[in-house]
Amino acid sequence: MRLHSIRTTAITAAALALGLTLAGCADDTGSTSAADGDSTSGSSQSSENSSGNAEGSDASTTKRGADLATTDFAIEWEDAVETAQSAFDGDLAEIELDWSRDRYAYSIELVSDSEEYEVRIDATTGEKFGERTEKIESDDVAEKTSEVIDLNNIVSWDDALATALDAQDGTVNEWKLEGTESGPQWQFDIDADSGEDYEVTINAETGELLTTDD
Give the 3-state secondary structure of residue 74. Answer: coil
Cβ 166 vs Cβ 115: under 8 Å: no
Cβ 119 vs Cβ 144: under 8 Å: no
pTM check: above 0.85? no
Q: DSSP per residue over 110-160, as a string?
A: EE-SSEEEEEEEETTT--EEEEEEEEPPGGGHHHHHHT---GGGS--HHHH
CATH class, domain 149-214, is alpha beta
CA distances from 120 to 5, 32, 143 (A): 101, 61, 23
The distance in angstroms from the start CA to the end CA of the chain is 122
Query: Rounded to 5, what percent of the chain is helix, strand, coil?
Result: 40, 30, 30
Instruction: Tell me the CATH architecture of domain 74-137.
Output: Roll (3.10)
Q: Identify the pLDDT of residue 9.
A: 40
pLDDT tens for the 214 residues of the chain, in order: 433 443 444 434 444 443 434 444 444 444 444 444 444 444 333 333 333 333 333 434 799 999 999 999 999 999 999 999 999 999 999 999 999 989 999 999 999 999 999 999 999 999 999 999 999 999 999 999 999 999 999 999 999 999 999 999 999 999 999 999 899 999 999 999 999 999 999 999 999 999 999 8
**Cα three-residue angle 133-136-139, rounded to 5 degrees:** 170
Bridge partners of 99? 104
Q: Identify the pLDDT of residue 214.
A: 80
Handedness of CA 78, 134, 186, 212 (dihedral sign): negative
Q: Identify the pLDDT of residue 185.
A: 98
Q: Identify the pLDDT of residue 75.
A: 98
Looking at residue 71, the DSSP 8-state letter turns out to be: -
